A and B are shown apart, each in its own frame.
Chain A
Amino acid sequence: MRLRTEQKLPALALVITLLLTALTLTGCSGGASNTITEAGSTTVQPVAEKLAEAYKAKNPDVAITIQGGGSSVGIKSCNDGTVDIGAASRELKSTEPNLIKHLIARDGIAIVTHPSNPVTGLTKEQVRGIFSGNITKWSQVGGQNKEIHVIAREEGSGTRTAFEEMIMGDALVKASTILLPSSGAIRTAVSSDPQAIGFISFGYIDTSVKALTINSVAATAHNASDGTYPLVRPLYFLTKTQPTGLVKEFIDFCLGTEGQSIVAEEGYIPGDQPSH
Chain B
Amino acid sequence: MSRHFIDRNAKYLVLLCASASFIILAAIALFTLREGLPALQEVGWLKLIFGTEWRPSLDKFGILPMIVGSLAVTLGAMILAIPLGVGCAVLLAEVAPHRVRQFLRPAVEILVGIPSVVYGLVGMLLIVPLIREIGGTGYSIAAGALVLMAMVLPTIISISEDSIRAVPRRYKEGSLALGATHWQTIWHVLIPAARSGILAGVILGIGRAIGEAMAMIMVMGNAIQIPTSPLDPARSLAGGIAVEITYAGGLHQNALFAVGVVLFFLIMVINSFAMVVMRRRGERT
Q: Which residues of A are at the interface with B, using a C-beta cutoff of 8 A?
A: 68-73, 76, 149, 151, 154-157, 161, 172, 175-181, 185, 188-189, 192-193, 195-196
Contacts and interface: CB of A to CB of B under 8 A. Distances in A.
A54 B251 CA distance: 39
A154 B217 CA distance: 11
Interface in B82-104: none
B247 A176 contact: no
B137 to A, nearest CB: 4
Nearest to B252: A156
A179 B225 contact: no
B221 interface: yes
Interface string B239-253: 000011011110010
A49 to B, nearest CB: 18
B233 A193 contact: no
5 contacts: A156-B246, A175-B225, A179-B221, A185-B218, A196-B137
A271 B124 CA distance: 37
B129 interface: yes
A179 B222 contact: yes
Contacts of A72: 247-249
A156 to B, nearest CB: 3
Interface in B120-173: 124-125, 128-129, 132, 136-139
Interface in B204-262: 217-218, 221-225, 232-233, 235, 243-244, 246-249, 252
Given A172-B55, A193-B138, A179 B223 contact: yes
B212 to A, nearest CB: 15
Given A175-B223, A181-B243, A156 B233 contact: no
A245 to B, nearest CB: 29
Contacts of A161: 57
B246 A179 contact: no
A1 B247 CA distance: 53
Contacts of A71: 247
A23 to B, nearest CB: 26
Interface string B47-85: 000000101110000000000000000000000000000
